[in-house]
Amino acid sequence: MRKAISIGTVILMILLGYGFSLKPEVEVEQLRHFAGTPASLQVCEFIEISGPVNLNKKARKINYKNTNPMILGRKYTAYKEALAFKESRGNYKSINTLGYIGKYQFGSGTLALLGVKDTLQFLHSAVLQELVFAANLARNKWVLRREIKEFSGEIIKGIIITESGLLAAAHLAGPGNVKKYLYTHGKTVTKDAYGTTIENYLNAFSGYDLSFIKAHKNIKVKGGPYFRVL
């Protein structure tokens, strides 16, 4: 799942540092600031901004807002880049030994579920990959909507359960395995082929503010001539 940064990626990072930007795959008018995403990676807006979620609805739950302040460093951009680094070192062209592809290491099954059938196009489009990642978050948030409400703030085996941690764990192992973990109170721990467990992601990606993401049951990403989310 993890690959070293390619020489091409290093060159791209240097060029971006001097103001060079990727050739846009969507018109400028269609791009909106997405929680501070760099201009070259901005995607079409498809979610509404809503108020923050009350994470301390029950007295028995920890208000982790006090221990993990929701500052700029805990917003969407920081979250997705941290997860991408864990998955592929942030490499859009990454392909692991199991055939998972891209910056966020998606499988063909998940891509098809989100409306993407051309994996080659996906692998060569930064914009499409960013759209798919955001769309997958929205879908997993819908699948886990009850669990996010019920378990946020709980402690399982020393890990504070948070929305962002649950969504990261769902990215790793699927929302179904996240539910099994929660409802067995940590007795069912799924891991990927490389040994990374749900608990690793629950802990590593805890406390990011993803409250503005709107849960979406049947979200799809459509292509050409401009990518968009429906």
One pLDDT digit (tens) per residue for the chain, 230 residues: 444 445 444 444 444 443 333 333 333 223 233 333 343 333 333 322 223 333 333 333 433 333 333 334 689 999 999 999 999 999 999 999 999 999 999 999 999 999 999 999 999 999 999 999 999 999 999 999 999 999 999 999 999 999 999 999 999 999 999 999 999 999 999 999 899 999 999 999 999 999 888 999 999 998 654 555 65
Residues pairing with 221 in the sheet: 229
Provide the 3-class DSSP secondary structure of residue 14: helix
Q: Quote the DSSP letter at residue 224.
A: S
User: Residue 44's pLDDT is what?
Assistant: 33
* Tokens coding 132: 């798919």
Amino acid at position 187, single letter: K
Provide the 3-class DSSP secondary structure of residue 155: strand
Q: How far apart are the first and last CA of the chain?
A: 29
Structural domain boundaries in the chain = 7-229
Residue 114 CA, distance from chain mean position: 14
User: Residue 229's pLDDT is what?
Assistant: 62
Give yes or no for a contact between 198 and 206, defined as CB atoms under 8 angstroms apart: no
Task: Say how far apart CA 21 and CA 23 lie, in whole Å.
Answer: 6
User: Residue 95's pLDDT is what?
Assistant: 95
User: Residue 213's pLDDT is what?
Assistant: 87
Q: Which residues of 9-43 are buried (b: 16+ CB within 10 A; e: fewer)?
A: beebeeeeeeeeebeebbeeeebeebbebeebbbb
User: Residue 228's pLDDT is what?
Assistant: 58
pTM, entire model: 0.69
